[in-house]
Structure 1
Amino acid sequence: MLDFAIFAVTFVIILVGAVLYLYPSSRRASGIPGLNPTDEKDGNLQDIVNKGSFHEFLVSLHQEFGSVASFWFGGRPVVSLGSVEQLRQHINPNRTTDSFETMLKSLLGYQSGVGAGANESVMRKKQYESAINNALKNNFPLMLKVAEELVGKWTSFPEAQHIPLCAHLLGLSLKTVTRLALGERFQDDAQIISFRKNHDAIWSEIGKGYMDGSMEKSSSRKGRYEKALSEMESMLLSVAKERKAQSRQTAFVDALLQSSLLEQQIMEDCMVFSLAGCVITANCERMCIWALHFLSTSEEVQDKLYQELEEVLGSDPISLDKIPRLRYCQQVLNETVRTAKLTPVAARLQEVEGKVDQHVIPKEVCSRLENGFEIPPKERVNNGRNRTYVAIFQTLVIYALGVVLQDSNTWSCPYRFDPDRFEDETARKSFCLLGFSGNQTCPELRFAYTVATVLLSSLVRRLKLHQPEGQVAEVRSELVSTPKEEAWVTVSSRK
């Protein structure tokens, strides 16, 4: 089974950009069919822009070239896999490193954990997962409280009032994520707003300014970035000192404080977790938004979910131990992830040579030569005036999950929201293979599922969701409508 990190779509371009920043370019896609670069410098970047999104670009790419295809980022070839069978074949047994974490730390200038051996990487990964799982357990009452507050607010609205899902659920996600990561300091809205402001300032420059060099050309932008980074680091060090003095064991940072890590290492790991925390926030927010949107379009699904909640929970509030018994709720969330393509793309650096169908995906590729020809890896050319050095780097492989999740060969009526499809064992196995469920699910996604389950259990037992008249939506074939910019619902009392 493939083991890869699930990234929110907002991180995909950053990941690819970071790869390009840290590794040189290449000139051949190992014979894999695909697009030729439309621009010598930018590769197929303009083609991606013209399609409107990276996902739509990959849909078009795989429609034209099949389930294994290639394209160009700058001078570097990238391999994209677009079907369950091809992902199943992709061989990558060395699963000890987190390429995204390594790249993010490199961009921030941090050193802790970078270049660590396999045993240390495995230990850090286990520690990281244990920290998230413990924080989930310890903060479950908080999740329930925040969800109940939101439902109580909605209950007070008139039935005809349109409720903006994005605006309301962003607050729910931010409150739970910051408290889970850093503790009680973030029960204050002012602290959350300050955190979000600095977080966004740092991330926007990592995502763009570092990649295109534009930040270095603007002293004001660089000043804002450095100020935000300094304030975030100071806040994290302050939180670590407070938590250590209090000896609490409820937040992610507490688990790090119990380890043998140095203060600087703890700060750096908290910074990476805080920045990557927008993956968690985005997953929580978007999963909840889409789940409520889809439920508002189907009274039948709402009623079926309500019956399960009544049978399993009765009049009791939801508890962590009862979540595994809510099988239909899990199906609703699985189908939400699949239909809405919450994570349309993931990426991984090829760590060993692999083969998909008849195509070999090399572990390493060499840089492009200035004189237009390519030489094997680990060789160096000096031809007099045109001195060229060949750098060795790992191949970037894109998992086109959004393409796979809409593949009619894997999913019957792929555009229809149908939680009942996950009663089928084949559908569940395919979903597990993609990393969205089962033992391979990343801790961040498990957290998003937990928050969404708590919200649905609180809301569906008290309220019915309805689509407001005139909702601006894009109607796709087979019964799916997708909200534009903001999704709206109206509610009515269930009892």
Structure 2
Amino acid sequence: MLDFAIFAVTFVIILVGAVLYLYPSSRRASGIPGLNPTDEKDGNLQDIVSRGSLHEFLVSLHQEFGSVASFWFGGRPVVSLGSVHQLRQHINPNHTTDSFETMLKSLLGYQSGMGGGASETIVRKKVYESAINSTLKNNLPHLLKLVEELVGKWKSFPESQHIPLGAHLLGLSMKTVTQLALGERFKDDADVISFRKNHDVIWSEIGKGYLDGSLEKSSSRKGHYEKALSEMESVLLSVAKERKAQRKQTVFVDALLQSTLTERQIMEDCMVFTLAGCVIAANLCIWALHFLSTSEEVQDKLYKELEQVLGSDPVTLDKIPQLKYCQQVLNETVRTAKLTPVAARLQEVEGKVDQHVIPKESLVIYALGVVLQDSDTWSIPYRFDPDRFEEDSAKKSFCLLGFSGNQTCPELRFAYTVATVLLSTLVRQLKLHPLKGQVMEVRSELVSTPKDETWVTVSRRN
């Protein structure tokens, strides 16, 4: 697995820092209950570090102060919302930007398209989302082929063999994202491996020096990171030039080339999609197979739906909406694993939640990991139970949190398609079994990741 957080502070904290860096916040006291800064310069940073992650810090913060609470990042106040009721009240007009994209681009040093006004941002967002949709439409057979190769490999294993989900599914995700985003240049495994090496370095270092300046203090580390970033950017630029000359229109970069985006903007969007798309898709698939391996009942119910809807045919885009239970399984995977435990929005105008006034230019944290485990919203919240999403209330809450509907981030929608193809292929041929004695621990980062490698065994379906 990728090492998403070499530094002791969770990667999600970088989101807070990045947004605050981009948008200077009001220094007015909000009057919202919460922690006083433990350090004049760092605010509550050491408290977050001590908890091990921003998610764990927010869990304890809301336990102590309620569903609307505040803390300090540096010398600036941050408001955190920890229930569906408060999130429903929060009206934020900033619908044109994505917190993940804002964070990632700022840390990579990409500013183009972020200060060009709301209309430019909306256009660029639509181009990005349309490019992902057309990529899936044009390349579903290729995605199926990659999945079938993996399932065929698993079928060849003896039933006692332990299969490392992280290693295999990260490999699948990396192949899928590079080939669907950048084309046949990455059909050779050697090119995918080379791309992955730079991908690993960037995820290992990005934002690391933002908090402590450690990257600047190590010339060798900084040189290694800058070399990886430069090489990855060069590859993306060269791919765009090759695809433009060939005038093909089949993969992600081709769709961007048909737009009015500049060469630099196309490279940046390719960088964001290949980085974020790979990480989110890989971890959604890892968690989904892990949870399925722990419940034979859920596997059998999913198998029956797949047989009823698909028969012996491969899944198609028009059939995916008919796989209702498969969607429930993926929704419950996202919820139980707290796949993305934190989101952040800038309060562009003064707002109000309950009796609390949220000053303009405050950073508002959506403590999604807290909300996804809230017993007032979800019955038996720590239990993996896809049947809960048969209820309209669960669907509405999930949509409100941004995990379904029109507000879902495009990378997550892409990941859902990849995971659906994987489940529809694998579950009809194999049964998953957990490794006895395995204890799952979670690293609640920007994307929740198993702390250690996750293992399963498989057996053929009769």
How high is the TM-score relative to the length of structure 2? Answer: 0.92
Query: Which residue number in structure 1 is paired with residue 312 of structure 2?
Result: 315
Distance 1:250 1:170, change over 3 A: same
Question: Out of 401, 411, 416, which is 1:434 matched to?
Answer: 401
1:205-234 Cα shifts (integer Å, max 9, x gaps)? 431124432233332223223322322222
Post-superposition offset of 1:47: 1.1
Query: Which residue number in structure 2 is paired with residue 17 of structure 1?
Result: 17
Question: Out of 370, 384, 399, which is 1:417 matched to?
Answer: 384
Post-superposition offset of 1:201: 2.8
CA contact 2:68–2:79 (8 Å) conserved in 1 = yes
1:287-325 Cα shifts (integer Å, max 9, x gaps)? 111111111111111111110000000111111110000
Query: Which residue number in structure 1 is paired with residue 446 of structure 2?
Result: none
Question: Out of 348, 354, 359, which is 1:357 matched to?
Answer: 354
Distance 1:159 1:195 in 2: 33
Question: Out of 305, 313, 335, which is 1:338 matched to?
Answer: 335
Stretch moving more, 103-112 or 216-225:
103-112
Distance 1:34 1:10 in 2: 21
Post-superposition offset of 1:29: 4.0
Distance 1:80 1:339 in 2: 21
Post-superposition offset of 1:106: 4.5
* 1:50-89 correspondence runs (5 A): 50-89=50-89
Query: Which residue number in structure 1 is paired with residue 90 of structure 2?
Result: 90
* 1:468-483 correspondence runs (5 A): 468-473=435-440
Query: Which residue number in structure 2 is paired with residue 403 of structure 1?
Result: 370
Distance 1:106 1:166 in 2: 28
Give the letter for the 2:223 counterpart.
G
Distance 2:146 2:297 in 1: 27
Asked if 1:487 corresponds to 2:446, the answer is: no
1:52-83 Cα shifts (integer Å, max 9, x gaps)? 22111111100000000011111111110000
How high is the TM-score relative to the length of structure 1? Answer: 0.86
Distance 1:183 1:10 in 2: 33
Give the letter for the 1:186 counterpart.
F
CA contact 1:25–1:75 (8 Å) conserved in 2 = no
Distance 1:112 1:335 in 2: 36
CA contact 2:10–2:54 (8 Å) conserved in 1 = no
- Which structure 1 residue ranges, 5 or more long, are not aligned? 1-7, 364-393, 476-481
Distance 2:249 2:286 in 1: 31
Distance 1:157 1:220, change over 3 A: same
Post-superposition offset of 1:108: 4.0
Post-superposition offset of 1:463: 0.7
Distance 2:397 2:51 in 1: 28
CA contact 1:346–1:398 (8 Å) conserved in 2 = yes
CA contact 1:18–1:211 (8 Å) conserved in 2 = no
* 1:268-347 correspondence runs (5 A): 268-271=268-271, 273-274=272-273, 277-347=274-344
Distance 1:445 1:329 in 2: 15
CA contact 1:146–1:172 (8 Å) conserved in 2 = yes
Query: Which residue number in structure 2 is paired with residue 267 of structure 1?
Result: 267
1:461-490 Cα shifts (integer Å, max 9, x gaps)? 011111222223469xxxxxx965121111
Post-superposition offset of 1:24: 4.9
Specify the SS of the correspondent of 1:321.
Answer: coil
Distance 1:264 1:470, change over 3 A: closer
Give the letter for the 2:315 counterpart.
I
Query: Which residue number in structure 1 is paired with residue 411 of structure 2?
Result: 444
CA contact 2:34–2:71 (8 Å) conserved in 1 = yes
* Count of aligned pairs: 449
Distance 1:295 1:84 in 2: 27
1:136-156 Cα shifts (integer Å, max 9, x gaps)? 111211211111111111111
Give the letter for the 2:429 counterpart.
R
CA contact 1:174–1:281 (8 Å) conserved in 2 = yes
Question: Out of 413, 424, 435, which is 1:457 matched to?
Answer: 424
Distance 1:410 1:195 in 2: 42
Query: Which residue number in structure 1 is paired with residue 201 of structure 2?
Result: 201
CA contact 2:352–2:358 (8 Å) conserved in 1 = yes
Asked if 1:124 corresponds to 2:124, the answer is: yes
CA contact 1:29–1:79 (8 Å) conserved in 2 = no
Distance 1:14 1:182, change over 3 A: farther
Give the letter for the 1:316 counterpart.
D
Distance 2:215 2:21 in 1: 14
Give the letter for the 1:420 counterpart.
D
1:142-197 Cα shifts (integer Å, max 9, x gaps)? 21111111111111111111111111111011111112221111122222222222
Give the letter for the 2:292 counterpart.
L
Distance 1:35 1:189 in 2: 50
CA contact 1:256–1:266 (8 Å) conserved in 2 = yes
Specify the SS of the correspondent of 2:123.
Answer: helix
Distance 1:205 1:161, change over 3 A: closer
Distance 2:70 2:154 in 1: 48
Query: Which residue number in structure 2 is paired with residue 140 of structure 1?
Result: 140
Specify the SS of the correspondent of 2:458.
Answer: strand
Distance 2:226 2:293 in 1: 44
CA contact 2:20–2:363 (8 Å) conserved in 1 = no
Give the letter for the 2:407 counterpart.
Q
Distance 1:124 1:152, change over 3 A: same
Specify the SS of the correspondent of 1:320.
Answer: coil
RMSD: 2.2
Query: Which residue number in structure 1 is paired with residue 445 of structure 2?
Result: none
CA contact 1:25–1:74 (8 Å) conserved in 2 = no
1:85-113 Cα shifts (integer Å, max 9, x gaps)? 10110111232234554554444444431
Distance 2:369 2:307 in 1: 34
CA contact 2:10–2:53 (8 Å) conserved in 1 = no
Give the letter for the 1:489 counterpart.
V
CA contact 1:22–1:103 (8 Å) conserved in 2 = no
